[in-house]
Structure 1
Amino acid sequence: MSQKKLIFGMIGVAIVGIAAILYSTIRLSAPTFIDPADQALVLQGRAIYTNNCAACHGEALQGQPNWRERMSNGRLPAPPHDKTGHTWHHPDAMLVDMIKNGLVPGKTAPLGYVSDMPAYRDILSDQNIVAVLAYIKSAWPPKVLEAQKEVTLQRQN
């Protein structure tokens, strides 16, 4: 009888451990709201952005010229990440997904959409992606940041 209890106890501990790991993984992959108030995070994000994003999205977050007009290959130029773009219209979890996995038709882009946006999952860690987003968001005016925070928090409920 005690051996049975021991086996059931070990199974219970294993289940709780697996559940904790899964919960932790889900929480890390979908941050609640990335707050640009952390200046150390913003500085880290600026360096990562400069090395990985600025070539397309611009040193000053300005995007490529005529970013709303399709190029000859049918794709859109890289959009700005400042207040003039649409980055702030998306919740943080979606922005993380876009950076990590690129634009995925039917998920983070319209069906059939083709983009030059690469996936950074093998280049940037989740923490690096969060830092980049903190840097981008640090350039937004308070009203834009507040609107994006509202979108982020609404999508979580």
Structure 2
Amino acid sequence: MRSRVLMLAGLSFAGVAAVAAFAQVNRSETADAIFLGVPVTAQEIAQGNELYAQNCASCHGPDLEGQPDWKRPLENGRMPAPPHDETGHTWHHSDNQLFTLTKLGISGVVPGYESDMPAFEGVLTDAEIRATLAYIKSTWPKRQYEYQAEVSDREGPKE
């Protein structure tokens, strides 16, 4: 009897641990998926995945890995597309910054700076930009995700 109780307790613990691990890895299914202070649904993240594949993966890579040697300027002086996974610097920027850079392009934010990053204003709606960025954020490990959330919280919501 005692061994049966211990076995059931062990199985229960393993089940809870598996659910917690899944929620940790796949934040898109949890309530803490936030972009610009608004909860993001799993459906929006799935849409963002599709939009990323259509509009971003050709430069930033299908697995968010960026272009080779992304920290070194190309021969034309422009920077290669950085990774959007945890090895890049995307997670160092607030939601507001990421949204503005995506919508206006880097040249639209930093006058005189030449970049291959296009402006997506007129290509993607604001909701589509938010979904794409929410998808990118959903792939980050906990450390990067939490750091970026703190940066966004300090900056405050977009007006």
| 1:32 counterpart residue number | 36
| 2:91 counterpart residue number | 88
Q: What's the offset of the Cα at 1:39?
A: 1.2
**Counterpart pick for 2:104 among 101, 106, 111:** 101
| 1:72 counterpart residue number | 75
Shift of the 34–92 alpha-carbon distance from structure 1 to 2, 3 Å rule, reads farther
Point out which structure has higher relative CO (alpha carbons under 8 A, 6+ apart).
1
| 1:42 counterpart residue number | 45
Give the match's secondary structure for 1:103. Answer: helix
| 1:15 counterpart residue number | none
Amino acid at match of 1:79: P
| 1:132 counterpart residue number | 132
- Find the aligned partners of 1:79 and 1:46 in 2 and give their Cα distance: 18
Deviations 1:88-142 (A, max 9, x none): 101001101111000036x4x4x64210000000100000001001110111001
Amino acid at match of 1:58: G
| 1:20 counterpart residue number | none
Q: How large is the RMSD of aligned CA atoms in angstroms?
A: 1.7
- Find the aligned partners of 2:38 and 2:148 in 1 and give their Cα distance: 10
| 2:23 counterpart residue number | none
| 1:147 counterpart residue number | 147
Whether the aligned pair in 2 keeps the contact of 1:82 and 1:136 (CA below 8 Å) is yes
Shift of the 116–40 alpha-carbon distance from structure 1 to 2, 3 Å rule, reads same
Unaligned 5+ runs, structure 1: 1-30
Deviations 1:6-48 (A, max 9, x none): xxxxxxxxxxxxxxxxxxxxxxxxx633656x21111000000
Unaligned 5+ runs, structure 2: 1-34
Q: TM-score, normalised by structure 2?
A: 0.72
Q: TM-score, normalised by structure 1?
A: 0.73
Whether the aligned pair in 2 keeps the contact of 1:33 and 1:149 (CA below 8 Å) is no
